Structure 1
Amino acid sequence: MTKTIVVLGGAYAGVGVAHRLLKYTRPHVKDLKVILVSKNSHFYWNMASVRAIIPGLLKEEQYSQPIEKGFAKYPAEAFEFVVGTAEGVDIIDKTVKISTSDGGERVLNYDHLVLATGTRAVDGTVPWKSNGTHEQVAGLVSQIQDKVKTAKHIVVAGAGSTGVEVASEIAFEYGKEKEVVLLSGDAEILGGDSLASNVSSELKKLGVRVRKSARVDATHTTPEGKTEVVLQSGEKILTDLYLPTMGMRPNTEYLPADLLTDKKFVDIDEFYRVKGTKDVWAAGDIVWKPRGSFVLSDKQAAGVAKNIDLVLRGKAPTPVKTLPMDVLMVATGRSRGAGRMGSVKVFSIMVYMIKGKTLGIQSLPGYVDGSAF
């Protein structure tokens, strides 16, 4: 009898789980079938989105490639790709309701379900995450490229790692041609992380103007097409381009509320099995444990795939191990950066080599075709 694994989400965690199951589990579970469901037909390497918005730096195929093509080497009966959106999960009947991209509806039955639908930006006008279809995301990147090209004054709101990297990429490319203002709602950038002073120094070198304790209250579009940014203090800033980077929301609306934490992320145990369920697992930003991260998503995906493999062979799952320490790497343009491994600072050149040089785009083909796993 066929064992069906439904994987929801076509990004780092979802694609990673699907490939691992097909490569390593199917050889000894011959009737295994993996159904991968993704709203985006393409794998969007969102880590590079901060550079993709700069005109002329990256080609679309460097950060976005078709998912289905990467699974073509597996037997047709072993894999199915569905472009669509999860609308509901029934953990009793073990079914998932899907709205397909052609306007249809499907109900998928599963033996095991993997939740890997990640997070999205609260503001849907920015491409830091794949918030829609391939066409929607590609169009959004193109629109922002055009605006970046013509803007003389740019406000980046939110001074987490994404905000810092967006401001740095623009300032690195254009220098004094454009005034870049980075707004931090907190008293310090990066939420007061120990890297804050190092990163502040890098931003200063690039000419980025950092405003601390400057939380955005509202924005308005003027008749001239500019954006008026209103701070909680009442101060108003008029800018040619406003790029919000704060606020991530988990894509969990399709799930029963009792499977979620108070912050709407999926509640998991040490095995990354969803609490209160049987044969339901989760990995990636949707669990936000300890936070969203490319490296953590990959480790979690590996752990979930291993545990499904163990259960299918009648064995007990094992606790999922990720990283022994908290790691943070922040690229500040295309030559420098700041980072730490636990409490130990990492040299700028190392952050550049590990992250800032390419933002990982050389790994995209391997994720798409499974050779990275």
Structure 2
Amino acid sequence: MSEQRNIIILGASFAGIGSTHYILTHLLPALNAQHEAKYHLYIISPSPDFYYRIGSPRTATSTSLLPQEKLFYPLADAFKRYPASDFTLIQATATSLDTNGRFVCFKRHDSSTTEEESLPYHALIVATGSRTPHPAYSMHTSTEATKIAIKETNTRVKFAKSIIIVGGGPTGVEAAGEIGEFLNGKPGWFSTPTPKVDITLITADSLLLPALRPAIGKEAERQLGKLGVKVLYDRRVVDVSTLKSNSEDEKTILTLSKGEKLETDLYIPAHGVLPNSEWLPKNLLNEKGYLETNKSTLRVDRAGPLIYALGDVASYSRNNALDISDALPTLMINLKRDLLSYSPSTPNATIKGRDRVFQPLMKETQFVPIGSGGGVGAAFGWRVPSWMVWLAKGRDYMLGMAVPGYVEGSNFKKEHKWSVDEAVV
């Protein structure tokens, strides 16, 4: 019987699910055709479902706007066309990585035992992503926990008389727009409804949406204002405390960096993300907790051969979806080069040819819906009108493209071809 060589992918969000489809469609057949070993792909994910977090600002506001069922997709259905001889899905949380022994440790979620298991890897892709401060806007632990967070947020939004959202990036602006329209009403062509709920968006920056030009940030503030949302700039939250009245209604007290104290019915932290990297060896992480990744090749050089990182957990990433889709061809070409060149007798040998080099998109590109009527954004350095943001993203947060494209894999039917200089066979 030939040796089995495991390719392990950790994480099943955009980076993990995209890598899985591509490898099973294009790389595994080529590797197994060599007959040197039997290659098998494992994907390890804490949840049995893919969570479409891009749509969370609308669903977390109210499932009447975008039903939560549309944001969850069973991974078993996403990968059902692949044979069990090539692919295994494990519902588990990665707990540690041994780069000397070359194995991953994990704890299963679908087992009565809490014992840790291990799985050796031949190649490893770390795609564990990141999480938002608020549990409704990303998958923190499980599908059930995320659904509970969505339900609780829906209820609190519905009955709140005052809401404070902290964060001037896309999540904060989108959440403020969705909540503003849901509670205060949609403005007309020549009228703006009188606000029914006090909604404030706070940012530590001097402008909204710092990845875009200042004029677009000011336009975002203008559109939010029509939805009854006020914006406070240059303020950080330095303390958060809770207060319960005699009726057990919970209030949140925020202390800001300029000394203000604000009381609110609902506080939504929507500032930044945290990498899901606590389980990794500390010597592989940078000072912010991201997995130190070669920004050109997407290899994790410190961890040894055949280890890669993709998506938000990696140090190359700017925490956006474009940095996944743009980087995936580079990773897949370099993975193909490494695997087809591998020799057990010389595992660390230099590979002939040239690596594919990742070149991130540096032109201003970001679409930010503000309610259901439009939004702000830019594409490849060109500012786009509000109606185009609605057309591209604001209708359903691109859900109609994401499920068939990424989750079901239609985006990965075409193989990325290596150049003559990159080829090893």
The two structures have a TM-score, normalised by structure 2, of 0.83
SS where residue 222 of structure 1 aligns?
strand
Residue 196 of structure 1 corresponds to: 217
In structure 2, relative to structure 1, the CA distance for the partners of 1:184 and 1:223 (3 Å cut) is same
Mapped contact 2:66–2:396 kept (Cα < 8 A) = no
Letter in 1 for 2:204: G
Q: Deviations over 1:162-193 (max 9, x none)?
A: 11110001112222232211011222223484
Letter in 2 for 1:267: E
2:195 is the alignment partner of 1:169: no
2:125 is the alignment partner of 1:114: yes
Residue 272 of structure 1 corresponds to: 298
- Residue 343 of structure 1: how far off its partner (Å): 4.1
User: How far apart, CA to CA, are the structure 1 residues paired with 2:9 and 2:374?
Assistant: 37
Structure 1 residue aligned with 2:240, among 219, 225, 247?
A: 219
- Residue 288 of structure 1: how far off its partner (Å): 4.7
Between structure 1 and structure 2, the one with the greater Rg is: 2
User: How far apart, CA to CA, are the structure 2 residues paired with 1:150 and 1:100?
Assistant: 38
Mapped contact 2:284–2:292 kept (Cα < 8 A) = yes
SS where residue 77 of structure 1 aligns?
coil
Structure 1 residue aligned with 2:337, among 300, 307, 310?
A: 310
Alignment RMSD, CA only?
A: 1.8
Structure 1 residue aligned with 2:373, among 307, 310, 335?
A: 335
User: How far apart, CA to CA, are the structure 2 residues paired with 1:244 and 1:130?
Assistant: 15
2:202 is the alignment partner of 1:183: yes
Letter in 2 for 1:42: D
Residue 7 of structure 1 corresponds to: 9
User: How far apart, CA to CA, are the structure 2 residues paired with 1:290 and 1:115?
Assistant: 13
SS where residue 234 of structure 2 aligns?
coil
Structure 2 residue aligned with 1:370, among 403, 409, 413?
A: 409
Structure 2 residue aligned with 1:135, among 115, 122, 144?
A: 144
- Taking the TM superposition and a 5 Å limit, the aligned residue runs for 1:47-62 are 47-55=54-62, 56-62=64-70
Aligned identity (percent) is 29
Q: Deviations over 1:33-75 (max 9, x none)?
A: 1100111211000001101112211222211111122111111
Q: Which moved more, 1:66-75 or 1:8-17?
A: 66-75
Mapped contact 1:17–1:302 kept (Cα < 8 A) = no
2:112 is the alignment partner of 1:85: no
Structure 1 residue aligned with 2:31, among 29, 32, 48?
A: 29
Mapped contact 1:20–1:302 kept (Cα < 8 A) = no
Mapped contact 1:157–1:243 kept (Cα < 8 A) = yes
For structure 1, the residue ranges without an aligned partner over 5 or more in a row are: none
Letter in 2 for 1:51: R
User: How far apart, CA to CA, are the structure 2 residues paired with 1:81 and 1:326?
Assistant: 37
Letter in 1 for 2:395: K
User: How far apart, CA to CA, are the structure 1 residues paired with 2:362 and 2:30?
Assistant: 31
Mapped contact 2:14–2:324 kept (Cα < 8 A) = yes
User: How far apart, CA to CA, are the structure 2 residues paired with 1:305 and 1:192?
Assistant: 28
Mapped contact 2:60–2:137 kept (Cα < 8 A) = no
Q: Deviations over 1:70-105 (max 9, x none)?
A: 111111111111111111111121100111113232
Structure possessing the higher relative contact order (Cα contacts under 8 Å, 6 or more residues apart): 1
- Residue 290 of structure 1: how far off its partner (Å): 4.6
Residue 115 of structure 2 corresponds to: 104
2:389 is the alignment partner of 1:351: yes
- Residue 129 of structure 1: how far off its partner (Å): 1.7
User: How far apart, CA to CA, are the structure 2 residues paired with 1:44 and 1:94?
Assistant: 29
User: How far apart, CA to CA, are the structure 1 residues paired with 2:226 and 2:363?
Assistant: 30
SS where residue 29 of structure 1 aligns?
helix
Mapped contact 1:95–1:108 kept (Cα < 8 A) = yes
User: How far apart, CA to CA, are the structure 2 residues paired with 1:247 and 1:191?
Assistant: 12
Stretches of 4+ aligned residues off by more than 6 angstroms: none
The two structures have a TM-score, normalised by structure 1, of 0.94
Structure 1 residue aligned with 2:321, among 294, 311, 331?
A: 294
Mapped contact 1:153–1:239 kept (Cα < 8 A) = yes
In structure 2, relative to structure 1, the CA distance for the partners of 1:52 and 1:76 (3 Å cut) is same
Q: Which moved more, 1:351-360 or 1:310-319?
A: 310-319
Letter in 1 for 2:243: T
User: How far apart, CA to CA, are the structure 1 residues paired with 2:206 and 2:29?
Assistant: 54
Mapped contact 2:252–2:264 kept (Cα < 8 A) = yes
SS where residue 85 of structure 2 aligns?
helix
SS where residue 95 of structure 2 aligns?
strand
In structure 2, relative to structure 1, the CA distance for the partners of 1:107 and 1:284 (3 Å cut) is same
User: How far apart, CA to CA, are the structure 2 residues paired with 1:312 and 1:155?
Assistant: 50
Q: Deviations over 1:104-162 (max 9, x none)?
A: 321011110001011112x3x43222111111111111111111111121110111111
> Aligned pair count?
371
User: How far apart, CA to CA, are the structure 2 residues paired with 1:192 and 1:59?
Assistant: 29
